[in-house]
Structure 1
């Protein structure tokens, strides 16, 4: 699981991220709201821990921007504001959970685990579904309205990234980093080839989903019947 931790208190941020890394999570950190928005546009995260009081762009405004981009990543809003009105405002803005400072690391970990069990936001076991398609992550297969087909490892990884972020324009650099690794020496033409392969797989299954090319940016998975 990859987590983005947005917190302007660098000491707290370093301490909490150290704990999360020891628990086996991959953690990116940033201390500024505007920087966080850039991170979120470049990377597909499984969870965002978001401080409310941030420089450049405060957490509440950032939260609204994230949801306006149709990014459904689970978000835990972390803040010292503990009034009922503050909680309601945060949840209504799109937060999935609300944690008041100071908090115990054990409670934060428990809340992360609780969010990971929500089937509407997270993949259920080894299956990931969107529209008329179901991806079997363990079996590396794709099931559609008409047929099923097997996928290569790269095709399965690409399908996973797209299905976790439907409707979002995913930058080419982000997709390359997630599938081949951030330091891999891979040509961008490889990504184009696998996009072509996956489009053929979707067609084979009879799916209405389409992978659209966003010129000079990347790709987005869309449901043509919506």
Structure 2
């Protein structure tokens, strides 16, 4: 699961990133509102931790722009402003939770887990199903009619996106951003290599599902027919 941390305090940002990765999440960071909007538009993250007071564009403004664009990614606001009116403004702008600084890392992790339990949130460990396939996202195990196979983390991350969006054409740029990160220095051919690996895994477990290519556009997970 990929989380975006938007925080202008570099030390706090790195501390949060460290704790997230220790808990098994993937994390990207940015330190100002302009960069934040660039990351958010790519919709590569399943949760955003957003500092309210940022250079260039405020956290509240970022949140309002997100919601106005129809981006429903869960957001936890962090801020030193603890007045009732401040909390109400953040929640009314579209925040899913509001955490006052300074905060304990254990509380942040608990807030993330709480957001994940909501219907509109995400689940860190879950099982996805499509046709005759089952993917255990926690242990990266793919099961089909004839066998089970343990995937690499990258393979599981990529297949998870397909199984969240069955029969939907997913653009190459969106897949690269979700799996490798929005600004990761990854070659386009890496995606093709992992698609090749996944196709082999589908055959290994005896599935009727297939990853189909839309040349120069992207890929989709479909039935064999």
TM-score norm. by structure 1 comes to 0.64
Give, in angstroms, the shift of residue 84 of structure 1. 1.0
Deviation (angstroms), 1:100: 0.6
Offset from partner CA, 1:50-109 (integer Å, 9 cap, x none): 000001111001011112222222110001111111111111111110001111112111
Matched, 1:86 2:89: no
Residues 13-46 of structure 1 show CA distances to partners (whole Å, capped at 9, x for unaligned) of: 1222222222322111110011011112235112
Is residue 120 from structure 1 mapped to residue 123 from structure 2 by the alignment? no
Does structure 2 retain, via aligned residues, the 8 Å contact 1:176–1:191?
no
* Residue correspondences, number: 209
- Deviation string for 1:166-216 (max 9, x for gaps)? 9998646425736xx9635617778999xxxxxxxxxx99xxxxxxx9x98
Q: TM-score, normalised by structure 2?
A: 0.64
Cα 1:175–1:186 change in 2 (3 A) is farther
Q: CA deviation at 1:127?
A: 4.5
2:189 is equivalent to residue 186 of structure 1: yes
Query: Which ranges of structure 2 fall in alignment gaps of 5 or more residues?
Result: 144-150, 197-207, 221-225
Distance 1:3 1:165 in 2: 19
> Which residue of structure 1 aligns with residue 66 of structure 2?
66
Which runs of structure 1 show a deviation greater than 3 angstroms over 4 or more consecutive aligned residues? 123-129, 134-141, 155-160, 162-173, 175-178, 181-185, 187-193
CA distance in 2, matches of 1:124, 1:100: 24
